[in-house]
Amino acid sequence: MGKREPSPGHDLIVIGASSGGIEALIALLGWLPADLAAALCIVVHTSPEAPGLLPAVLGRRTPLPVSQAIDGERLQAGHIYVARPDHHLLVESGRIRVTRGPRENRHRPAVDPLFRSAALTYGPRTIGVVLSGALDDGTAGLAAIKNQGGIAIVQDPEEALFPGMPASAQRHVPVDYALPAAAIGPLLARLAREPASQPERAPAEALIIEERYAREEGAAMDDLTEIGMPTALTCPECHGPLWEVGDRSILRFRCRTGHAFTAESVMAGQSVALEDALWMAVNTLQESALVAEERGGAPPRACGRALHRESARVAAAGPGDPHGDRGRKGGCGARRGNEHHRQFVRRRCARRMATGTHRPRHHA
């Protein structure tokens, strides 16, 4: 019987972080040796307009070369690749992919696309690490790595400046290690030299379909129906219908355009959309009041107080005001008042808001 070939080591490390993640990365990278036996890819949530200085910042803290990822570049052991602002970072066999696929969890770059691509391509040879950050990007991707036989690591949530991401991953994924950031560096150096103990696994069809979106290949509506169920919710990004996808342990959604969300990121997106709509309503009231003043005319005072309460409730409602859109019971409201009444209310609201004397009443 011939000698068995040794199993390949864990030659790909993928790291995801958000708020507080740069501090954790600095602590982690300082412990990596110059002869690290794995390529390392990093996604940190950044603004689309960010100048892309993160490689220079991290490069001062590690003996390894650090560069911004370039599409088509070959993956090399002992090299650190950082996602570009407003671009997803993906991996395929031996190469980097940089795309502008749909945002996931309201971010681009996002952690989940990188982790999914690593799980799909490198399987049990992958090590996934989730560091400090808010909400839960990276949880679904780390689950994919674990399902494909890879190793799952999180920063100890008690140490993380923002524990949301590592705590969510620890809650939903059977992680192998939960450690302070400085302790993760030596662990990665050791694991990179150890052979992958898990056998290759056939990837789930859902993993393949979802990966197409990040690669800008798209997917048919039939594919979404195959891996998920349509819901009554709409996408906070494009307002298209959402499908519930993934397993039941992690509630996730995806629209046919490709935007993907966890339940928490859907709620965060809807909160932003609600606040935008409310400010637009306030602006419309103020502009209408100015136009009405230019036109002149003294509206009758009858029904004025009721109309004022109605308009003030709409103008003052915010994400934390549960009664902003409730309690409308007709009477002398806008549906029955004439145009003079509405003009009077708008002028009065605008004046009080401008002078800081506007105090809307809340009704249960």
Residues with catalytic annotation?
Answer: 18, 45, 137
Q: Which one-letter amino acid corresponds to residue 134?
A: A
Say if residues 95 and 179 touch (Cβ distance below 8 Å).
Answer: no
What are the two backbone dihedrals, phi and then psi, of residue 220, each rounded to the nearest 5 degrees? -75, 160
Name the nearest CA neighbour of 163 among 176, 150, 181: 181
Q: Which one-letter amino acid corresponds to residue 297?
A: G
Distance, first Cα to last Cα, the chain: 81
Say if residues 284 and 329 touch (Cβ distance below 8 Å).
Answer: no
Residue 6 CB-half CA count within 13 A: 6
Q: Which two tokens stand for residue 184?
A: 């993760």
Q: Which one-letter amino acid corresponds to residue 300?
A: P
Name the nearest CA neighbour of 42 among 57, 121, 33, 51: 57
**Alpha helices for 126-204 (secondary structure H):** 139-147, 164-172, 181-193
Residue 243 CB-half CA count within 13 A: 21
C-alpha angle with apex 90: 28 to 234, nearest 5 degrees? 105
Torsion angle of C-alpha atoms 279, 280, 285, 291, degrees rounded to 10:
130
Q: Which two tokens stand for residue 139?
A: 């949880």
The CA distance from 128 to 203, in Å, is 17
Tell me the chain's radius of gyration from C-alpha atoms: 26
The CA distance from 66 to 74, in Å, is 14
Name the nearest CA neighbour of 23 among 67, 64, 69, 54: 54
